[in-house]
Amino acid sequence: MDDQSPEHYELNWAGKAAARAQIKQLASTCLYNKKTLVVDNEELMSSSAFIEGENLEALRVLQSTHSGKVKMIYIDPPYNTGSNDFVYADNFSKTGHGHSAWLSMMYPRLVLAKNLLREDGVIFVSIDENEYANLKLLMDEIFGEKNFRNTFIARRHDKNLNRQFMAKGLRSFNVGFEHILCYAKSDAFTFQPVYRASNEIRQTTGYWKGFWNDADRPTMRYDILGFTPETGQWKWSQEKGLEAVANYQKYLTEYAHKMSLEAYWEQTGRKLLFIRRNPNGKGKNKGVENWIPPSDGILRTTNWTDLLISKDEKEVQGLFDFPKNIEVLKNLILAAGCGEGDVILDFFAGSGSTAQAVLQLNEEDGRRRIFLLVQIAAPCPIDSDAYQAGYVTLADITRQRIMNVCANLKSSPKVLFYRLGKA
């Protein structure tokens, strides 16, 4: 194909042109604090805030205050499951173009959200199997394939719905996990390590692991205890590797008869590295191994199935179906490297789990991260427990949860409450 051709690979659907046009529309509303027009952008930038209003319009308003200033975005949009949850009309099939309508809803919001991210910013989007494939393609287009970082998975509550259909054969298995897609704004973003708890043995006992890997840097191939690999490389530089060999030799010669390697490692400040060669070793490392010390935590992979994706907290119990687990959100915030003064945006705020995660994490480590939440005032059905408890809209639940969490913290954080109103 001619390089000058306007044709290129992209995701297309009925209604994309209209969705693209929404991106260019200017905001028709302003932020109000009670009945007062908000004009103090500095206060908005430096404080956590909840905005009651439609999120596409809120994203337009935020273009003038937060463009290029948000460190992390987390959203939990409607999954287009065909259900009719009271939180959102989570069923776009009634329009006649189910996937198209869902994509048209997501497209302008994600484009405007990208504008808000810092160059070292990152976005996480929760989704299930119904729209995962379309969302991945959509985010590839908006953020760029090269900026895709990971898909994390977290566990759903087990359900026994399929048991009643087992005798006739199952059309599909119950879904046991949800996806969290992650895209960076640019190469400037890097993850920070996060850990899951080790078991009791791993917390007190080290283990040996092969020292070879399949990367290919010739300068990282050198002699260790009589063996030099011909392919691949050792994990550490020659200086570091030979020092680790010497450390283990010293342990064997002077201390092995009176203490374990774990005890020696503790006694020497928990910093020494050790390498040995197992004479019976085979494989690419030919028995050369490095010692992995005891650890309270194990470095996480993308498998977060030790965590439930949803979890009721007392602040929202009985008021909201499947609120997101704040422990999952805390791990995402830490993995994103959010620190002092960093802004974390959630424009599908739901019950306000992101706000609680930020507030509690700040309380735990003494940092002052800022959350920015947006939630439309969707009406609670009159037969719902939330309505019976006095909550007229979903935004009422979100607002009250934030206030309840703040009331139980020692730090008394400042949170601003806004609504969108006509300019």
Q: How much is the pLDDT for 367?
A: 93
| In the block, residue with structure tokens 């009925």 | 14
Span 48-194+300-418: which CATH code? 3.40.50.150
Q: How much is the pLDDT for 94?
A: 57
User: CA dihedral in degrees (98, 100, 106, 108; nearest 10)?
Assistant: -150
Q: How much is the pLDDT for 85?
A: 42
Per-residue pLDDT of the chain (423 residues; tens, 9 = 90+): 344 556 767 899 999 999 999 999 999 999 998 767 766 677 888 899 999 999 999 999 999 999 999 999 999 999 886 654 433 445 555 554 678 999 999 999 999 999 999 999 999 999 999 899 999 999 999 999 999 999 999 999 876 666 777 777 878 888 899 999 999 999 999 999 999 988 888 889 999 999 999 988 899 999 999 999 999 999 999 999 999 999 999 999 999 999 999 999 999 999 999 999 998 888 899 999 999 999 888 899 999 999 999 888 888 877 888 889 999 999 999 999 999 999 999 999 999 999 999 999 999 999 999 999 999 999 998 988 888 888 999 999 999 999 999 999 988 888 999 999 987
Kind plus residue range of the DSSP H or E element containing 360: helix 353-365
Region(s) of the chain under CATH 3.40.50.150: 48-194+300-418
Stated pTM of the model: 0.83
User: Counting beta carbons within 10 angstroms of the beta carbon of residue 329, is it exposed (0 to 12), middle (13 to 18) or buried (19 or more)?
Assistant: buried
CA distance 258 to 82: 66
Q: How much is the pLDDT for 401?
A: 95
Of 338, 365, 399, residue with least CA distance to 74: 338
Q: How much is the pLDDT for 172?
A: 81
Q: How much is the pLDDT for 40?
A: 66
